[in-house]
């Protein structure tokens, strides 16, 4: 029986406090307004597509779709363990690495907790932190790069998780592993350090490490990886995490029982084994990342030095020449880059390294844009 003083009950289901304060994730656009051909360079997808072996493996499962997948993803974890030299028991697979990141948030964060991420860090982190009822804390960056001291200064007794993408999306910058170690050394052991290495395969730097060793030895580090980028399997949604046994065990308690589909696992295993396809994707990026960077710089535009499969292009702060104007022009030419407003970079666009044809078309369109708008 309700008392007269009780607040009026809601007349419809009401989300938990905080849920409606979450800014929805804005995915890369996929449609253009013009252009005979459309070049989608907005979501860091590979121009090489998946390995033919992965496609064949995916199709091979088509006749058995009535069967539930193996909920423990044993075969996929064994393949990951084999290829990366890690312990399969400490690997967890997810419906994209987003799924693993979400499990981390739900297990380690709740109301009253704080989680730190970098100012221009991957946009999914604040969504997941808020979804768990915790408070996102934004660390400053230096030269569009994750700033270790800026993060350490924000750590307090409420801090439970630190999310770092290395290399970072959308800036393309990275931290040498000595800096990651320094960050880890400065964190209290109760804080979980999440190393999101979604773009690690593209990095060609001697001082870079994805985090396998640290996640294999430290009790408070987990590394996440994805099949969406260099493996070209974004559509099937597949990712994984590697970390301390206790952390993985806790994640497994809340994991959806069949969170990875059978076709995704089959394709993932085949993709892992096709080294020549991965090498071709690395070679393509090694050729085109510097070419695209230099070509766009030669137009008078600033391009942040990237180690990933994308570049961040900064536009002049002048009427008619801003990122918004460039985006409008590019879309009218069938070229789709990523608008960066939600990343606090309103005057920049992010361009994925695409096929030779897509890259050339984008450079030509940007040249055109700069000439048309020159005074
Ligand atoms: C830094 C970073 N982490 C994670 C992801 C998510 O990848 P997935 O497709 O595996 O969920 C992305 C995708 O853009 C990303 O840029």
Tokens of 88: 């399969």
Given the structure tokens 């570049």, which residue do they identify?
A: 311
Q: Give buried/exposed letters for 300-334 (b at 16+ CB in 10 A, else e).
A: ebebbbbbbbbbbbbbbeeeebbbebbbebbbebb
Instruction: State the distance from the centre of ligand 1 to the C-alpha of 98, rounded, in angstroms.
Output: 6
Taking the C-alpha atoms of residue 33 and residue 153, their distance in angstroms, rounded to an integer, is 46
Report the alpha-carbon distance of residue 23 to residue 356 in Å, rounded: 35
Are both 40 and 126 inside the same structural domain?
Answer: no
- For residues 169 and 44, is the Cβ–Cβ distance under 8 A? yes
Same domain, 232 and 310: no
Residues 96, 150, single domain; the answer is yes
Backbone angles phi, psi at 222, to 5 degrees: -125, 135
What pLDDT was estimated at residue 1?
47
Which domain covers residue 211, as residue numbers? 52-273
Same domain, 207 and 61: yes
Mutate to test the pocket of ligand 1, among 25, 28, 95, 198 (most ligand atoms within 8 A of CB): 198
3-state secondary structure of 316: coil
CATH of the domain at 352: 3.90.1150.10
φ, ψ dihedrals at 161, nearest 5°: -140, 145
Ligand 1 binding pocket includes 98 (Cβ within 6 Å)? yes
Residue 362, ligand 1, Cβ within 6 A: no
- Whether the CB of 268 sits within 6 Å of ligand 1: no
The encoded tokens of residue 13 equal: 């289901």
Residue 29 exposed, middle or buried by CB count within 10 Å (0-12, 13-18, 19+): middle
The distance from CA 28 to its chain's CA centroid, rounded to whole angstroms, is 12
Last residue of a domain, one of 253, 273, 293: 273
Which of 158, 159, 157, 139 lies closest to 149 in space, CA to CA? 139
Q: Are 220 and 148 within one domain? A: yes
The answer to whether residue 5 sits within a structural domain is no
Domain shared by 285 and 256, yes or no: no
294 and 157 in a single domain? The answer is no
Supply 95's token pair. 């419906």
Q: Are residues 169 and 112 in the same domain?
A: yes
CA pair distance 300, 369, nearest whole angstrom: 12
Per-position pLDDT tens, the chain of length 375: 445 556 677 889 888 888 898 888 877 777 777 777 999 999 999 999 999 999 999 999 999 999 999 999 999 999 999 999 999 999 999 999 999 999 999 999 999 999 999 999 999 999 999 999 999 999 999 999 999 999 999 999 999 999 999 999 999 999 999 999 999 999 999 999 999 999 999 999 999 999 999 999 999 999 999 999 999 999 999 999 999 999 999 999 999 999 999 999 999 999 999 999 999 999 999 999 999 999 999 999 999 999 999 999 999 999 999 999 999 999 999 999 999 999 999 999 999 999 999 999 999 999 999 998 887
Sign of CA dihedral 76, 80, 82, 83: positive
- Indicate which CATH number applies to the domain containing 236: 3.40.640.10
Alpha carbon of 225 to those of 97, 151, 249: distances in Å?
Answer: 6, 22, 18
Can you give the pLDDT at residue 23?
Answer: 85
* 178 Cα to the center of ligand 1, angstroms: 24
Neighbours of 10 (CB within 10 A): 7
Residues 200 and 269 in one domain: yes
The residue nearest atom 16 of ligand 1, judged by CA position, is 169
CA atoms within 13 A on the CB side of 14: 6
Q: How far is CA 362 from CA 225, 313, 352, 365, in A?
A: 29, 12, 10, 5
Shared domain for 31 and 148, answered yes or no, is: no
The residue from 273, 306, 329 where one domain ends is 273
172 lines ligand 1 (CB under 6 A): no
Report pTM: 0.95
Helix 262-273 vs helix 74-84: crossing angle, to nearest 10: 20
Q: Is residue 102 situated within a structural domain?
A: yes
In angstroms, the CA 303 to CA 200 distance is 20
Q: How far away, in angstroms, is 13 Cα from ligand 1 center?
A: 32
Query: 245: exposed, middle or buried (C-beta count within 10 Å: 0-12, 13-18, 19+)?
Result: exposed
DSSP state of 19: G
Domain total in the chain = 2
* Pair 282, 142 in one domain: no
Residues 100, 239 contacting (CB under 8 angstroms): yes
Question: 291 to each of 33, 90, 295, 309, how far by Cα in Å?
Answer: 27, 39, 6, 12
Last residue in a domain, options 226, 242, 273: 273
Cα 221 to ligand 1 centre (Å): 18
């Amino acid at each position: 029986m309700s008392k007269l003083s009780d607040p009026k009950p809601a007349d419809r289901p009401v989300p938990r406090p905080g849920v409606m304060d979450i800014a929805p994730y804005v995915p890369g656009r996929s449609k253009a307004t013009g252009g005979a051909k459309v070049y989608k360079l907005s979501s860091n997808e590979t121009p090489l597509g998946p390995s033919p072996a992965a496609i064949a493996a995916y199709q091979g499962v088509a006749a058995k779709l009535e069967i539930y997948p193996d909920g423990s993803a044993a075969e996929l974890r064994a393949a990951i363990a084999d290829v990366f030299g890690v312990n399969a028991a400490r690997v967890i697979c997810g419906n994209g690495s987003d799924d693993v990141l979400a499990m981390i948030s739900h297990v380690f964060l709740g109301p009253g907790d704080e989680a730190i991420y970098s100012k221009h860090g991957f946009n999914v982190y604040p969504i997941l932190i808020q979804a768990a009822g915790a408070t996102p804390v934004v660390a400053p960056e230096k030269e569009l790069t994750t700033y270790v001291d800026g993060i350490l200064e924000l750590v307090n007794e409420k801090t439970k998780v630190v999310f770092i993408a290395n290399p970072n999306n959308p800036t393309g910058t990275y931290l040498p592993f000595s800096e990651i170690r320094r960050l880890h050394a400065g964190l209290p052991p109760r804080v979980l350090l999440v190393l999101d290495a979604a773009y690690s395969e593209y990095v060609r730097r001697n001082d870079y490490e994805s985090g396998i060793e640290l996640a294999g030895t430290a009790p408070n580090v987990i590394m996440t990886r994805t099949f969406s980028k260099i493996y070209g399997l974004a559509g099937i949604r597949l990712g994984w995490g590697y970390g301390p046994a206790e952390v993985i065990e806790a994640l497994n308690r809340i994991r959806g029982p069949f969170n990875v589909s059978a076709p995704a696992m089959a394709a993932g295993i085949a993709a892992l084994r096709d080294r020549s396809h991965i090498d071709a994707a690395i070679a393509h990026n090694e050729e085109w990342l510097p070419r695209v960077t230099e070509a766009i710089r030669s137009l008078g535009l600033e391009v942040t030095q990237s180690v990933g499969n994308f570049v961040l292009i900064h536009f002049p702060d002048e009427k008619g020449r801003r990122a918004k104007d460039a985006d409008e022009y590019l879309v009218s030419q069938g070229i789709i880059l990523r608008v960066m407003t939600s990343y606090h970079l309103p005057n920049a666009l992010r361009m994925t390294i695409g096929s030779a044809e897509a890259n050339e078309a984008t450079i030509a369109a940007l040249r055109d844009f700069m000439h048309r708008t020159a005074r």
